[in-house]
Structures are given as structure tokens and as C-alpha cells.
Amino acid sequence: MKITLAGIDYLVLFIYVVALFIFGFYLKSRRAASGTDIFLGGRSLNWWQIGFSMFSANAGPMMLIGLSSLGFSKGVVGANFEWLAWVFLMLLAAFFIPRYIATGISTIPQFLLWRYGRRSYNFLVIYSLFSILFVWLGSALYAGGLVISGIFRCSLLEAVLLVAVIATSYTAMGGLKAVVRTGVFQSLIIIVSSCLLTVLALGKTISTHVWNTPVPADFWKLLHTDRDPEYSWMAIFAGYPVVAVYYWCADQTIVQKVLAARNVRQGQYGILLLAGLKIITPFIFIFPGILCWLLYGNSTTPDNAYVTLVNNLMPPGLRGLCIAALIAALIDTVSAGLNSFSTVFTLDVIGQLRPLQEGDSIRIGRWLTVVAALLSVGIAILFSYSGKSLFELTQGLVSILAPPLSVVFLSGIFWPRTDRLGAELVLFGGGFVCLVVGFCYVLNYPYKGYWPHFLLLSVYLFIGLAAVMASVTVARRQPATGALPSVSGISSNLAMSRGLWLGWGILAVIMVIIYIVLN
């Protein structure tokens, strides 16, 4: 991945780094952060801060590099990963967040403490720490490090260390507020630069008359038949929900922003804003990959699609802006993961061992941010030996880690009688199985091609674990645990308003139209 940068491009990158540090350290310069500020920003976030910061955390290097690569090689089918997200974001806003807020939790593992007891809680604490390190931090640093090392002609280790140092500096000092401030700033950079690149690529496609170039079968179809061994409609509709329930509704790094909302209504509107942003992401992340195939399909590779467009279409200055967007996507994903790791470890691990004063929480949280950064650098280097594509690596990790959490949280929210023993069997037994399978999948053990596609693998694991949960619950016939509030029992200030339901209804209509047009 080689990009020729002019002097003005380096100037743009310098301005970006300076602006990033200004936003990152701005809160620290205004007032000393309290323990609450470090972890939940004083529960003071507004809807637009929540929506944009969740978008920037989600829009890691894989969004720019991986989705354009998927568009280049598979066409529009990759948009399913973005356009189906609204269903699960609606579940988060309507059902999960009201219950989270009603229980007063500060971290996602604390919901399982309230719902299933301490054993399930302790399991999720450890599981969350491992998933943050591997899914959020290690894979993001590896993917971004590959791109940055190729652009600036440095080693992978040097690129990974540079990003880790930048993200750690303001995250350790400013906590969640710093992560949110930089997230809003970096979301705008990502969106603006991607829109410009899409417009230039579309203009080039029209001017060179390659628009009518014959394309592979199903290139412009969202739903593929079973002839596609990777992204058939069955794999998408069965496998994606398993991942999405965990990722959007029960992942600490994502949900932490909503837990820090000023009130539940601000959190719900922030989620709706994110769902609206997910409508445009295929047009600015996947569509460029398709255009790259039309323009340069014979001279580049899928993983180089984004960089090829930047190198060939972006003029000096704007080229630097696109590189800044790549770095922004990487740094914000890493900073969000670092903050989540320090939050869970401080509140849910150390907090169990001894009472923490406010000053202790701040100091420990900062040191744990540094420790997480060092561990994630080592994991990123480990991923370099996997031999898998960027998209397959990150999505595959999430898909394999998701099933036990999806089963337990869906049951915990919608089935009051869910048995504690069933939850523990799914978490401990199923979690161990998924971790072993995940390591074998990443390292291609016992040999490459042994494991099915990650979407199908997640379905198989989910079905097996759901059967265990249902069987134990029905057999034991225990009364409801955790005094779970029903949908009708949630107070009116926590339930979604008519305006919010109208927004989700409009979004649903837009999605139906898109799926009709592209099938």
C-alpha cells in the first residue's frame, strides 16, 4: 500500500494531530476529572455526542479498508453488515437500555450480577476484558498498523506503537469525556473525506464510460443464493443477528457511551442518530470499493482498493485528509477500547477486592489504560501470523465470541424465568468452547480451510448454547430471577416516546425500499 504524499499532505496530517491533542486534552485543561468523569463522563453526554462517538468507535480501519475490500471483491452484499444494524440498534434503544438504566449499572457485567448472580458476573468481567483486548484493541491495531506501515514505509511494530502511544496519552488523562470529544471530531473527518472520495470516484467512473462494464453475477444484489459459500442470504440472516445482539446491545465499548447519557431519552436519540448514520456508510465505504473494481480492477487487489482510489483520485491536500481519516478511525477505536478496558478492570475487578476512593479510581484507571495498550500491541503482532484477510479476521473474532453472550442477554432481557444455572453453563462451558474455537480459527488450526465461514460457525454455536439454556430452564422450573421489569412495567420516562418510534418507522421504510431496489 504505497501512497505518494506531497508537502501539503504532511501539513494536513500535522494539523490533524495537533487538533486531536487539543480535543483530547481540552477537558483536562478545564477541570480535574472525577472518577465518574474517567469512566462514564459524569453521565452527562448529549444525544449527538453519543451518536457520533459510537459511530467513530465502530468506524475503525476495517470500515474504510475492509468494507471497500469487500465491495471490490463481492459487490454490494457487504452492505448487509451496515443496513441490518438498525434492527438491533432499535432493540438496544427500546428494550436493553431502559432495563440497563432501571438497574443503575455502570458496566455491562453488572447487569449479569443483578440478573444471574456473582458467578455469571465474574465470568463476563473476564470475558469482556479478553474481548476488548482481542476484538477492539489487538485487531484494530493490527489492521491499522498494516495500512500505516505501508503508507509511511515503517515496520508494523513502529506503526502499532505510534498509534498506541497517541491513543493512550489523552485516554488515560481525560477518560471517557476525552474519548467522546475526539470521537465527534474524528467522525466528521471520516465522513467528509469518504464522501469526497466517493464523489471523485463516481465522477471518474462516469467520465471514463466504465459504468456499463459487465460485472460478476449478484454484484449489485444484497441477497445472494446458496451458491455463494460465504455470504448467502441464509448466512447473512442467520449469522449476523448472533453477532449483532452481542455487538450492539451487550458490548461494553459500544454501550458504555449510552450508559453515560444525561438521561435515557438522550441515549435513545443518540442510538437513533447512529442508526441514521449507518444508512450512509455503505454509500461511502462499500460503494467506493465497487467503483474501484470498475476503474482499476485489473491493476490492484481488494485490500488495496481504498488506498488505490486515494492515490489515483485525490489531489494533494485531500490525499492527506484521507490518510488523516484512516488514522482517525484507528485511533478512536483504540481509545474507546482502552477506556472500556480500564473501566471494567477498575470497577469490576479491583472494586471487588477493596473499596476504592475517587482518587484511587482515577490513578488505577490511568495505569490500566497503559497496561491495556502494551498488551494490545503484543496481540496485534500475534495477529500478523494468522494469514487471514483484515475483514475476515476482525469479523470472525466477533462472530465466534458472540454466541454465549447473545444467548444470555436475549434470555435475560426477554425471558424472566431464565435459570441461573443455565446461564452459568452457557457462559462457562460455551464461553470456553468459543474461546478455543476462536483461537483455532484465527491460527488456522488444525489446517487452513478446516473451519466453516465465521457467520455459519456463529450460528452453530448459538443454536447449541440456546438449546442448553432452554433445556435447563424448562427442566428446573425456577421462579423468575432478578426482578426483571417487563416492557409494560418500565416507567414512562424510560420507555421510548412516540417521536422515537416515528423515527424508527421512517428508518424501517427506507431500509425496505433499499432492499427492494437492490434485489
Residue 329 host element (H or E): helix 318-344
What pLDDT was estimated at residue 426?
94
What pLDDT was estimated at residue 152?
78
How does DSSP assign 194-222, residue by residue?
A: HHHHHHHHHHHHHHTT-TT----TTTT-S
Measured distance CA(424)–CA(214) in Å, rounded: 53
What pLDDT was estimated at residue 176?
73
Q: For residue 11, give the nearest of 250, 316, 333, 446 by alpha carbon.
A: 316
Residue with cell 500475534: 382
Residue 195 backbone dihedrals phi, psi, to 5 degrees: -65, -45
What pLDDT was estimated at residue 487?
43
Q: For residue 258, give the nearest of 406, 113, 97, 102 by alpha carbon.
A: 97
Q: For residue 371, give the nearest of 345, 332, 333, 401 by alpha carbon.
A: 345
| Ordered per-residue pLDDT tens for the chain, 519 residues | 567 788 898 899 889 888 887 877 765 544 444 444 556 766 788 999 999 989 988 887 667 777 888 899 899 999 999 999 999 999 999 999 988 988 888 889 999 998 898 999 999 998 889 888 887 788 788 877 877 787 777 888 888 888 888 888 877 766 677 778 778 888 888 899 999 999 999 999 998 888 777 888 788 999 988 888 778 888 899 889 998 999 899 988 889 889 888 889 999 999 999 999 999 999 999 999 999 999 998 888 887 888 889 888 989 888 888 888 888 878 888 888 888 888 888 888 888 877 766 667 778 878 888 888 899 888 888 777 765 555 556 666 677 778 999 999 999 888 888 888 999 999 999 988 888 887 787 677 887 777 777 788 888 999 999 999 999 999 887 765 545 544 444 555 567 888 899 999 999 999 999 999 988
Measured distance CA(376)–CA(340) in Å, rounded: 13
What pLDDT was estimated at residue 389?
56
What pLDDT was estimated at residue 249?
94
What pLDDT was estimated at residue 120?
92
Measured distance CA(227)–CA(224) in Å, rounded: 8
Please check whether residue 219 is in contact with residue 302, taking contact to mean a CB–CB distance below 8 angstroms: no
Q: For residue 65, give the nearest of 48, 78, 84 by alpha carbon.
A: 78
* 288: its cell numbers: 467506493
Residue 441 host element (H or E): helix 431-442
Handedness of CA 33, 24, 66, 188 (dihedral sign): positive
